[in-house]
Amino acid sequence: MADEKKRNLEERENDRSVSGFSLMEPAGKLGAYPKRLRSFLHEVRVEMRQVNWPSRQDVMSTTIVVTVTVAFFGVYFWLTDLAFSHLYVIVNGYFKKL
């Protein structure tokens, strides 16, 4: 009796047949797509209304700070690269003479 139950369980697990109802499930999901999209867009609109947008003055001041900072570090790394490249030429020339 236990062997029959085990065999029936194995047959059910290995059963690859497709029922008609299982084919309707993707069609149902496809029909719900416009509703889900509309709901998503509504939620996006509600959230965007709650955003605290910065003022024009805030945007301008942070843009200036970022621009100055990038320019400063650009010059700093350029000078550092220039110094190390000259140091490399000097050290390389010294060891080539040996």
pLDDT score of 97: 80
pLDDT score of 92: 93
Q: Which amino acid is residue 65, in one-letter code?
A: V
Q: Tens digits of per-residue pLDDT, 28-79?
A: 677 778 888 999 999 999 999 999 999 999 999 999 999 999 999 999 999 9
The whole-angstrom separation of Cα 71 and Cα 93 is: 33
Q: CB 38: neighbour CB atoms within 10 A? A: 10
State the pLDDT confidence band at 23, using cuts at 50, 70 and 90.
low
CA angle 70, 71, 76 (to 5 degrees): 95
Domain locations in the chain?
Answer: 18-51, 56-98
Enumerate residues 6+ apart whose C-beta is below 8 A from 62. 54
Position of tokens 């080539």?
96
Containing 15, the helix (H) or strand (E) segment is: none
Q: Is the pLDDT of residue 1 over 70?
A: no
